[in-house]
Amino acid sequence: MGLILKSHCQREMGQTVAQFKSTFTNKVDKKGRVSVPASFRASLPEATSEGIVIYPSFVNDAIEGCDKAYHDRLSQSIDAMPPFSEEKDAFTFSVISSCASLNFDSEGRIIIPPELIEFARITDRACFVGKGGTFQIWSPEAYQEELQRARTIAKQNRSMLTWTAQPGTAPNGGNGQ
């Protein structure tokens, strides 16, 4: 099991929230086993025995990943939608019925279900991409394409990024001195 490092977590509404950061590419064996990056496992707010939840992205050809608490909040958000709406059905199929709850083995690996490997076009390597409270799993080639697209959009929209001053700091991120 992984060591829990609270420095990788944030508190949100009284709960500890995982913070997945950075990008890692790991080998996938023929059984679909892949090692989850150690920093991702360490970021989980509770004992790693709860593992992670993964499901196909409805935005990209990638796999979405999160801790169980995040997925529970996402499920509650879907449950709050009008009960017979087309949108609720779509999110239910995309996020809830297509998810897999995975536990780590003794080496920190998970087994990605074959249908998700096929969906994300993953072959012998998987790219774990931290996105703060969630992460994604991509084929390395598809990730590189998405990274270039995202960087172009970020460059075009960099003025939208704002900095919120924390108590005791200056608005530009300094210490106010």
For the chain, which residues make up each domain, given as ranges?
6-155
Distance CA 103, CA 106 (A): 10
Q: Rounded to 5 degrees, what angle do the CA atoms 43, 69, 26 make? A: 40
pLDDT of residue 9: 44
Tell the CATH superfamily of the 6-155 domain: Transcriptional regulator MraZ domain (3.40.1550.20)
- The burial of 40, by beta-carbon neighbours within 10 Å (0-12 exposed, 13-18 middle, 19 or more buried), is given as buried
Sheet holding 52-56, edge to edge: 23-27, 125-130, 135-138, 63-67, 52-56, 100-102
Nearest to 117 by CA among 28, 51, 26, 52: 28
The answer to whether the CB of 146 falls within 8 A of the CB of 127 is no
Average pLDDT over residues 146-174: 84
Nearest to 43 by CA among 110, 133, 137, 136: 133
Is pLDDT of 52 > 50?
yes
pLDDT of residue 167: 75
pLDDT, one tens digit per residue, over 108-125 is 999 999 999 999 999 999
Distance CA 163, CA 127 (A): 29
Distance CA 143, CA 128 (A): 9
Q: pLDDT confidence of 11, banded at 50, 70, 90?
A: very low
Phi, psi of 66 (to 5 degrees): -165, 175
Distance CA 167, CA 134 (A): 27
The Cβ-side half-sphere exposure at 7, using a 13 Å CA radius, reads 2
* pLDDT cut 90: percent of the chain above it: 73
Nearest to 94 by CA among 112, 74, 118: 74
